[in-house]
Amino acid sequence: MVTTAFQHLRACMVMLMVIANTVFWGIPVHIVALAKLVAWRTDWENACARALMRTVRGWIGGNLLIQDLFLPISWDIQGTEGLRPDKWYMVVCNHQTWADIPVLLKALTDRIPFPKIFAKQQMLWIPIMGSALWALDYPFMKRYSSTYLAKHPDKSGLDLETTRRACRKYHFTPVSILNFIEGTRFTHEKHRRQRAPYRHLLRPKAGGLAFAIEVMEGRITHMLDVTIVYPDGMTDFWAYLGGKILRVSVKIREIAIPEPLLQGSYTDDPEFREAFQQWIRHIWQEKDALIDRLIEHDASAARSIES
């Protein structure tokens, strides 16, 4: 009872500090974003874009500092060697909870270009954060169910067009494009409904990923396959803020995208589409096996301690 009350108190405190940090940095973010919007010279617009990124790094850095100071997390982050902040990357990751976002920022900030996330359109309406993400040229994706698309076929392909418009803006400065290709957070109910051929993952959706690589026109040649495991069990974001998650394991694997998959049309070429899907399914099988090994290793270590 006392422990639970303390966790709720800590979660409230951490959330209030994150909100305060967001408001503090949100003001200059919006000022610079407005200046970028009205800039009529390319060099001014580029200068505003650089200032915007520096401001956002302050925002993220503040949130990470709050996390480090108040959350008792033991981090196991592997695979960051050789990552470069001046290189374009595609980043894919398994998705379990909103906590995945601060975990990824902890693992990747200052090691690769600031990640652009394919965000759900609902995030646009979050005060300050939504408009800040818009100013940073984050693509907002609107998800439709298969039932809705069957009734409204004109809505099919809108996410791909959103991807095209967003990625064209990323041609001139190195960026990392983060995509949770499962399309939604993992739950056992979703896993059951999908009949997914994996133990710990949902089925990956390759279309948006392939389309982003195609639109980037050869700038993205490597993908970072990030695997997040919570050894003490998956939980919700509020429990994360309350300090219930004590250990986080992050494994990063840099994969060269096969050259044949850098040139082709996912929408128009069935053979290319099948090859790309097969490549992603293979990566997902390896990720599922890695999660199995990490969980088993942790369980074995726990049994050794008990004995």
Q: Could you read off the pLDDT of 218-249 as tens digits, one per residue?
A: 899 999 999 999 998 877 899 999 999 999 99
Distance between CA atoms of residues 203 and 186, nearest Å: 10
pLDDT of res. 129:
74
Question: What is the value of pTM for the model shown?
Answer: 0.87
Residue 153 has pLDDT above 70, yes or no: no
pLDDT of res. 214:
87
Q: Could you read off the pLDDT of 201-212 as tens digits, one per residue?
A: 999 999 888 988
Residue 26 has pLDDT above 90, yes or no: no
Residue 56 — pLDDT band, cuts 50, 70, 90? confident
Q: Mean pLDDT, the chain, as a whole number?
A: 86
Residue 62 — pLDDT band, cuts 50, 70, 90? very high
Residue 301 has pLDDT above 60, yes or no: yes
Do residues 82 and 253 touch, judged by C-beta distance below 8 A? no
Structure tokens at 177: 């494009």
Residue 302 — pLDDT band, cuts 50, 70, 90? low
**Percentage of the chain with pLDDT > 90?**
53
- Higher pLDDT, residue 64 or 49: 64
The mean pLDDT value for 111-120 works out to 83
pLDDT of res. 303:
59
Q: Which residue has the tokens 């803020």?
A: 241
DSSP the chain: -HHHHHHHHHHHHHHHHHHHHHHHHHHHHHHHHHHHHH--SHHHHHHHHHHHHHHHHHHHHHHHHHHHHH--PEEEEE--TT--TTS-EEEEE---STTHHHHHHHHHBTTBSPEEE-EEGGGGGSTTHHHHHHHTTPPEE----HHHHHH-GGGTTHHHHHHHHHHHTTSSS--EEEE-TTSS---HHHHHHHT-SSSS-PPP--HHHHHHHHHTTTS--EEEEEEEE-TT----HHHHHTT---EEEEEEEEEEPPGGGTSS-TTT-HHHHHHHHHHHHHHHHHHHHHHHHHHHHHHHHHHHHH-
Distance between CA atoms of residues 92 and 89, nearest Å: 10
pLDDT of res. 93:
97
- Higher pLDDT, residue 126 or 17: 17
pLDDT of res. 307:
56
Domains of the chain: 74-306 (3.40.1130)
Residue 254 has pLDDT above 70, yes or no: yes
Q: Is 2 exposed, middle or buried (0-12, 13-18, 19+ CB in 10 A)?
A: exposed
Give the number of other Cβ atoms within 10 Å of residue 133's Cβ.
20
